Amino acid sequence: MNGMLSVDLPDVPRLSSGKVRELFDLGDTLLIVATDRISAFDCVLPDPIPGKGEILNQLSAFWFQKFHQVPNHFITTSFESYPEALQPYADLIRGRSMIVRKSTPLPVECVVRGYLAGSGWKEYQESGTVCGIDLPEGLEFASQLPVPIFTPATKAASGHDENITWPKCCDILGSDQATVVRDLSLALYSEGSLYAATRDIIIADTKFEFGLCNGEIVLIDECLTPDSSRFWPADVYVAGKNPPSFDKQFVRDYLESLDWNKRPPAPRLPPEIIEKTAEKYRDVFTHLVG
């Protein structure tokens, strides 16, 4: 199976190209197409992961429908109900695309952490805090936090996300809006984690995005996918150990084993790493939804 690295829909205006997804402008709504591109350390890798786009798309759709009580941008993934202008593109977009409400994204990434990993673990080792939040002493890598914490980030000019403190988040969004997105993020994380636990998956951390749509704050972008979250298998989880993961960590670990400075161009992936990664995406989908 070949993966999709790029997508062109002649006659449909492209709004923007993300690292993984392409946005097309349908007037009042948007078409989001998930390619099979994979990014790591904020670099898009030259090889696609076959099947990834479809899995990401369907997993987000699953959560958006589950979280229908929270205003979100989801409209449909049902190709039959797509506008006439998209019907010629079934082979390209069916299954890997979603029609959503157009919104203006808020300039803060809403990260929630229930466990200590990634940049949170790094900061904790240096200062005993994560995004300025004091944490108990003696936590190990991958330890569960006493309670999940909201650790916002901004897209820095460098392109890398930068963790920010709560006061800084309030400066950017205003404290009313900051409070709304913080509370929604914590509630979504908690509901998602409870569900995932019934499927033997730990959601170590995740990132939500919100946007404004006719003055209303709505959950946008993707939701609780392996690209936006760290998923760990609960049955083999032990604090202190690098958990085998259901997400991009596998690719990150491979890339860390190379002598690569994490600047473009990113290295090619060997076929076995591509296949193993594709399998991880399939596995987490089967665990959560199948």
Ligand X SMILES: Nc1ncnc2c1ncn2[C@@H]1O[C@H](COP(=O)(O)OP(=O)(O)OP(=O)(O)O)[C@@H](O)[C@H]1O
In the complex, least distance from residue 188 CB atom to ligand X, rounded to whole angstroms: 15
* Position 43 contacts ligand X (CB under 6 A): no
Among 103, 119, 163, 229, binds ligand X (CB under 6 A): 103
Q: What is the rounded distance in angstroms from the CA atom of residue 44 to the CA atom of residue 18? A: 10
48 touches ligand X (CB under 6 A) = no
Which lies closer to ligand X via its Cβ, residue 15 or residue 187? 15
By the rule CB under 6 A, 30 interacts with ligand X: yes
How many residues bind ligand X, per CB under 6 A? 17
From 52, 2, 117, select the one nearest 277 (Cα to Cα): 52
Output the six-digit token pair for 218.
């709505």
226 sits near ligand X (criterion: CB under 6 A): no
Q: How far is the CB of 101 from ligand X (least distance, A)?
A: 6
Peptide bond into 270 cis (omega under 30): no
Closer residue to ligand X (CB): 173 or 220: 220
Interacting residue with ligand X among 4, 9, 12, 21 (CB under 6 A):
21
Residue at shortest CB range from ligand X: 18
CB atoms within 10 A of CB 215: 5
Among 45, 110, 188, 220, binds ligand X (CB under 6 A): 220
The reply on whether position 100 binds ligand X by CB under 6 A is yes
The piece of 99-107, 162-170, 243-251, 281-289 that touches ligand X (CB under 6 A) is 99-107
Select the span of 12-20, 91-99, 116-124, 278-286 touching ligand X (CB under 6 A). 12-20
Smallest CA-to-CA distance from 64 within 55, 75, 53 is with 75
Is the CB of 9 or the CB of 100 nearer to ligand X? 100
Q: Does 211 bind ligand X (CB under 6 A)?
A: yes
Size (the chain), residues: 290
Pick out residues in 121-160 that bind ligand X (CB under 6 A).
155
Residue 23 binding ligand X, by CB under 6 A: yes
Whole-angstrom CA distances from 138 to 135, 142, 146, 147, 240 are 9, 12, 12, 16, 11
Question: How many other C-beta atoms can be found within 10 angstroms of the C-beta atom of residue 240?
Answer: 9
Other beta carbons within 10 angstroms of residue 284's beta carbon come to 24
Footprint of ligand X (CB under 6 A): 18-21, 23, 30, 73, 100-103, 105, 155, 209, 211, 220-221
